[in-house]
Amino acid sequence: MGEPQILPFDWADPFDLDHQLTDEERMVRDTAHAYAQDKLQPRVTEAYLNENFDREILREMGSLGLIGATIPEEFGGAGLGYVSYGLIAREVERVDSGYRSAMSVQSSLVMHPIHAYGTDEQRRKYLPGLAKGELVGCFGLTEPDAGSDPGGMRTRAVKTADGYKLSGSKMWITNSPIADVFVVWAKSEAHGGAIKGFVLEKGMKGLSAPKIKEKLSLRASITGEIVMDEVEVGEDALLPNVEGLKGPFGCLNRARYGIGWGSMGAAEACYAAARSYTLDRKQFGRPLASNQLVQLKLANMITEITLGLQAALRVGRRMEEGKLIPETISLLKRNNCGKALDIARISRDMHGGNGISAEFQVMRHAANLETVNTYEGTHDVHALIMGRAITGISAF
């Protein structure tokens, strides 16, 4: 074998991720990139500062096939692979983590359980509208007293003559104040106290979803509670094909996988901003980028981004082969979120005083990634999931 050809280093894509994708995947990525840059980027500063989410965004995403990308076409999805879904998340979060959260919840936490665990009637009733963004969905698992320990939930479903009566509350629920469809998890007495999923609809008596105000992170995404005061539903509200924590965790695995891609999009935005700023900004008669410390920071950033993207691609390819190893998703989510948060913080520092200005965007990413590092399994809990797999001993 001859000597390998020496090629130039690509500061934006050192391992040539682009050519590891199929033509279809590149097309999906380019569509998502164009939409995010043309339609989301101009809105994001105002949305973040004023804590305002425009639900029209979900309709726009739906019209391009960016919602429920992995759902079969017969139910309104695009029938794409998991890598395509990840690429969409990356491009949306390159603009803002809050926008990606809204898309992820709709796709992975609402459409997936209805498709995977629901009846054909439920699929046909809800999925096409959700895919188009005409319906907005939310996912109710976390409670005021049950975050990292979802098995400790207090929400209950009591059997009635015609169905079930649900009582309890959920907290930190993306999309809930504007949701039409609520996928809610409760302990069902009729199923021996096992956790079951239910699909609720806006307007049901006893169902409310107050907005959580004054967030300091994910301000371009709307977040609320779900309060259920003896909400009566029919038997047709039950998701019949799953029981226990397997149900919500099946959804969360897919959402966490998407976060592994999305967080790298935010990191890439912060890295590119730091590179551009330090090349343009002159101090002591030369660009900031000519300093060793600045170059070290940029080298560290692109190292973690490149490795994080390769890990995301590997997990996605395995999922497309029908292989899902939950602990590798914990590894991906934990590593990529933690590294993205570090990159955003360092980029903010490299911008000096300008780093705190909304105009330069990096502090918004840093504030958002504080939440992304916490939700859907905290950094520490994912370490314990991995630790259990490594040692065979549960530490929680």
N-terminal to C-terminal alpha carbon distance within the chain? 52
- Give every CB contact of residue 293 below 8 A, 6+ residues apart in sequence: none
Alpha carbon dihedral 280, 284, 290, 293, in 10-degree steps, equals -110
Cβ atoms of residues 348 and 362 within 8 Å? yes
Cβ atoms of residues 247 and 232 within 8 Å? no
Burial environment of residue 351 by CB neighbours within 10 A (0 to 12, 13 to 18, 19 or more)? buried
Best CA proximity match to 67, nearest among 204, 57, 289? 57
Cβ atoms of residues 360 and 395 within 8 Å? no
Q: Is 376 a catalytic residue?
A: yes
The catalytically annotated residue of 25, 91, 93, 376 is 376
What positions carry a catalytic annotation? Answer: 376
